[in-house]
Structure formats: C-alpha cells, structure tokens
A and B are shown apart, each in its own frame.
Chain A
Amino acid sequence: MKDIADSYVTEDGRTIGKVLMDMKNITLRFGGVEAIKDISFDIREGEIRAIIGPNGAGKSSMLNVISGFYNPQVGEVWFRGEKRPPMKPYQVARQGIARTFQNIALFEGMSVLDNVMTGRLRQMQTGMFAQALWWGKAQREETENREAVEKIIDFLEIQAIRKTPVGRLPYGLKKRVELARALAAEPELLLLDEPMAGMNVEEKEDMSRYILDVNDEFGTTVALIEHDMGVVMDLSDRVVVMDYGRKIGDGTPDEVRGNQDVIDAYLGVQHD
C-alpha cells in the first residue's frame, strides 16, 4: 500500500484529506472473548472507507467502538488529531459522528419528518421554554432546521412519506429514513452498518448512489460495513478486511482483492 503523506486526489477527482479518525491498537473483549484483536487503521477526510469480513469477524464491534457504544479495553481512538477519552454514545454523536444500524433503529411511532428532525438536536441551541412558547429566536431556529431537514428529505427522495409514521414504512424506505436522520446531523463522519442488507438489486443501486452523492456533494467522510463485495469494491476508496477479530488486509479495493489472506478468509483454505 502506498504511503500517503497529506492529501491526494482520486481518479474521479475528489480530494482525500488528512487523517480524520485514527484507531490505534484497538482490543475489545467481552469476558473471555476477544472480538477485536489489536487492530489499527485510519479514516481520512473525504474518503469512503469500507470494513469487510466474514460473519463474526468483529466489523460491527469496530463500528460500535468508533461510535462509542463500546469502549475498548486496550488502544486509543484519535479524532481530529486529538485523543478521545472514553465516551458515551450520545457524547460521540455530539462530536459530529452519526451512524445507522444494521437492524434499523428508528423512532417507529414518530413521523418521518420528526425522525429526521431528531437528527438536528445537535444544531438546536435555544432553551426549552422559549421553544415551547415559540419565541422569536426559537422560531427562527426551528425554521432554519426545518429547511435543512427538507433539503435532506428532497435529496433522499422521501418527500412523499414525510408525514407517515415510520412504523408503517417498508424495509427499504426505513433504511433511507435512517440515513436521512444521520445526515440531518451534518456529520463529519458517517458510519453505516450494512446499509444495503436485505435489499434487492435496484434498492442497492439507489443506496449506492445516495452514499456516493453524500460523499461528493456534502464532502462527508463515510465508513461503512457491507457484505456485498461488488458494492464495496465499487464504492470505497480503501478497504479494511477483518477475520476473527484480526485485521488481515488494508488498502485500495484492487490491493485487497489480490491479498492471499483475504482470498483464504472468504473462499476457505485447504488444510492438509
């Protein structure tokens, strides 16, 4: 893998900046089980970074470490050039790291609009009394946030279901609403846990397009977990490959594809 000094420009003309998130020697244990064993990798500004690996490789655990749902026993998490102390998930979210979940975690009883609005909590500053009474500044703030949210709703083409309670939506749309909520936070780093799981080919293509557009238009850094190898290789700039909690490969899609360890992990290896 080539050594990248500061920033570079990809073939399709996007600029990849300096390191945004740096994971150093992360080890995560659950009792006696080591879910992640001494893994280091970084995520650069503006890139789409994929984490792949067979089932149980520790991919989701890794994402949960980044988003603060788990705190690793060993290792350091560096964000924006600063070492991050152990944090609660809501504190991580307030730092500008948004995420989606493998098994969709939406507010089922609330409308799509309200769901996406919860993503704006970070941006809303006025006190609760002013908001309840709809006072000057609060009103302006609510309007501004609504505009931002409507932009995202437009962008993801979910205008038609704005007022629908999320519980009534089909699976594919729920995934999209979850992405909308994450985007509403205007995150610096967007974490996607299997954004295309359970989708048909057409839905996958849509989702891929949205991810690329998000990255391109908003300049959002994306880290994603995905099973569909075709999708991963098309989307991502760099790929981390995990197997049984270890990192077995790291590099551009082409580099990873040619890596013997990766091939073994995915296709199995002959034992003699």
Chain B
Amino acid sequence: MSADFLYGIEVVINGLMAGVLYALVALGFVLIFKASGIFNYAQGVMALFAALTLTGIMSGQVPFSHLINAIFGTEIHHFGWHVPALLAIILTLLVMIVFAWAVQRFVFKHLVGQEPIILFMATIGLAYFLEGVGDLMWGSDIKKLDVGLPQGGSIWVEDATAFLGGDDFYGFFIDKLDMVATVVAAILVIGLVAFAQYTKQGRAMRAVADDHQAALSVGISLNFIWVLVWSLAGLVALVAGIMWGAKSGVQFSLSLIALKALPVLMLGGFTSIPGAIVGGLIIGVGEKLFEYTIGAPYLGGATENWFAYVLALIFLVFRPQGLFGERIIERV
C-alpha cells in the first residue's frame, strides 16, 4: 500500500476519535433538548466548570479562596491535601447534581410554559453566570488535568500496524487518550440509551419531553425529571470536561468546544442520540480528511476551524431536520 493511502487511513482514524469527543459534547445538548425542549447554551461552560471543579478538588484548592482572602485578610489557598482521582470525580459529580438541582429550583421552575427562545436566553445567562462562578471558585489560570489517563501515542498500535507499509512506514500513530475517550464515550452512550429505553425514569423522561400535562396525569413529577435530566447533562459535561481537559488543559477555551457541537447537532438532528454520535464522527472525519486532501495542499491549511460549519450549512439546505432528527409534520 502506498504511503499516502496509509497516511489517509491514519487521518480517518484520528478523525473518528476527534469525532467521538465532539459527539460527547453534542450528547449533552441532545439529552436536555429531548427531555425539556431547552437548547442548553451552557453545556460547554458546564464541561469547563466540571473540569475546573475536578482539578480544584484533586489539588486540594480552597474554593472561593480569593474572595475569602479579600474579605478576611487571610492567606489561604490550599487545604494541603491531594484527593485521589476517583474520589474527586465522584465529588465533582455531586457538585454537578447540586448544580442541576439549583438550576431547576432557581431558574427553570419559574419559566415553565415559556417560549423556547426565552428558555434559550436563560441558558445563555446561565452560561455567563457559571463561567463567572467557575472563575471565582477556582481562579482563572490554566490548569493541568491529570486523572491518570494514558497520554501520547500508542506504541502497541504502531507495532501492530507497521507491517502494512514498506520500510519507511512505522505504523499508525494513535493517541492513547483518544482511544480511552472512545471507549468511555461508547460506555456512556450505551448506558444512556439503556437508561432512556428500559427504565421507568427513562420512560418518564421521554414522557415529559412529549407532553407535560399527560406526564402529570400519570403521576410523573416534572421537577424530579428535570433535575434528573440536568444531572445527566452534568455527568456528560464532566466526562467531556475530563477528556478535553486532559487533552488541552483546563482553560476558558474549553467552553468554546461547545460551539463545535452545533454543526454536529445540525448534522445529526437535535433530538437523536445516535444522531449526535454519527454527526460527531462525520464532522471529525470530514474536517481531518478535508484538511489533508484539499485544505493543506490548496487552501493554505487551518480549514478545520470552519469546515464543520460549512458542511452543516450545506446539510441544512437539503435536510433541515438532520440525519436522524424527527421530522415535524403538523396535521392541518
């Protein structure tokens, strides 16, 4: 096989893995949108907040330390302990659940029955609020997130695939972190689908998404379901935060990956979990492949920044509901 072709395959594989991470963020959007009809602009910031909280807890940082020091004139920054990764993840999850409850209790409980655009704007407000809270709690410097995930290229994959090419081919270069992310995302997705399809809470969640009145009449508590949904979105945000944080450090730009989820959603459809996954993969592979075949040689590179949006735009023209989205037909 020619070296170019092999390199192309490597690009596709890496594209798929990047796509998994996009899908992970998109999944958070789909979950909330399906269950409550809210397009949650804050999903990216939630991932950032989760990652910040995780690093903060792990390194024993005192939350709100700047604020405390400024008010009381103290000089505390660290508790002086280090929390093991697994425990810190569980604690962070608890924080996200408390956050979910607070969002429901203080924001969306008061907006029941409002127009979607108003709910959307509330999530924009939420995004900026959460960003500020994250800064205030944990400081705004860039942090390294190390929960013990493997880093660097996988030697094993290189060795195992080296035979495919000639003497100058050393095998595929695949980041170990991407491989872990793929496995984790797969487990998460299977878990979520099983939850939505086979549990009574999952069924109740779908019911709430469909009709509030009817849900109430069969004994479903809307409040409980919404807290549940926001908690799940918090869980997905945490996982996405860990993966992206481990890849590129915990910093503000983490919240911008949420914007990458938009073209993924346009492609996959806002209401479909499989759509989020397939959409993520298409965008991931598409932008890498486009950069490799056309972008870098002819367009001067850096096409990855905009390719996804153009692809989504073209898609919108031909299939506005996305690949798997529900087509809304109203009977007249």
Contacts and interface: CB of A to CB of B under 8 A. Distances in A.
A235 B201 CA distance: 37
Interface in B150-183: none
B195 A118 contact: no
Q: Binding site of B, secondary structure by majority: helix, strand, loop or mixed?
A: helix
Given A128-B200, A131-B200, A107 B219 contact: no
Contacts of A88: 216, 221
A109 B326 CA distance: 9
A101 interface: yes
A106 B216 contact: no
Contacts of B215: 90, 107, 118
Interface in B174-200: 191, 194-195, 198-200
A67 B216 CA distance: 10
Nearest to B228: A128
B42 to A, nearest CB: 25
Given A67-B217, A89-B216, A108-B211, A121 B203 contact: yes
B210 A131 contact: no
A65 interface: no
Contacts of A133: 194
A94 B219 contact: yes
A185 B218 CA distance: 8
Nearest to B219: A93
Nearest to A89: B216
A107 B326 CA distance: 14
Interface residues of B, number: 26
B257 to A, nearest CB: 28
Interface string A82-99: 000000111101100011
Given A88-B221, A108-B211, A132-B191, A124 B200 contact: yes
A217 to B, nearest CB: 22
Contacts of A69: 213, 216
B149 interface: no
Contacts of A134: 198
A93 B210 contact: no
Contact of B217 (A98, A109, A142): A98
Interface in A98-129: 98-99, 101, 105-110, 114, 117-122, 124, 128
A160 B323 CA distance: 29
A238 interface: no
B235 interface: no
A182 B209 CA distance: 19
A176 B16 CA distance: 47
A117 B214 contact: no
B204 A121 contact: yes
Interface residues of A, number: 34
B200 A90 contact: no
A107 B195 contact: no
Contact of A108 (B202, B210, B217, B222): B210
B77 interface: no
Nearest to B214: A105
B200 A110 contact: no
A107 B217 contact: no
Contacts of B214: 101, 105-107, 181
Given A107-B211, A107-B214, A118 B203 contact: yes
Contact of B206 (A109, A122, A181): A109
Contacts of B199: 128, 131-132
Given A110-B210, A131-B198, A121 B220 contact: yes
Given A131-B200, A132-B198, A134-B198, A121 B219 contact: yes
Contacts of B221: 88, 90
Contacts of B213: 69, 101, 105
A89 B217 contact: yes
- Among B191, B207, B215, B221, the most chain A Cβ lie within 10 Å of the Cβ of B207
- Among A90, A91, A93, A124, the most chain B Cβ lie within 10 Å of the Cβ of A90
Contacts of A124: 200
- Among B206, B216, B326, the most chain A Cβ lie within 10 Å of the Cβ of B216
25 contacts: A69-B213, A88-B216, A90-B216, A90-B221, A93-B219, A98-B217, A99-B217, A105-B217, A106-B211, A107-B210, A107-B211, A107-B214, A109-B206, A109-B210, A110-B210, A114-B203, A118-B207, A118-B215, A121-B219, A122-B219, A131-B198, A131-B200, A132-B202, A142-B198, A181-B218
Interface of A: 67, 69, 88-91, 93-94, 98-99, 101, 105-110, 114, 117-122, 124, 128, 131-134, 142, 181-182, 185
Interface of B: 191, 194-195, 198-204, 206-207, 209-211, 213-222, 326
Which are the 4 A-B pairs with shortest beta-carbon distances? A93-B219, A105-B214, A107-B210, A131-B199
Given A93-B216, A101-B217, A107-B215, 17 more contacts: A67-B217, A89-B217, A90-B216, A105-B213, A105-B214, A106-B210, A107-B207, A109-B206, A109-B210, A110-B206, A110-B207, A118-B203, A118-B207, A119-B218, A122-B218, A128-B202, A182-B217
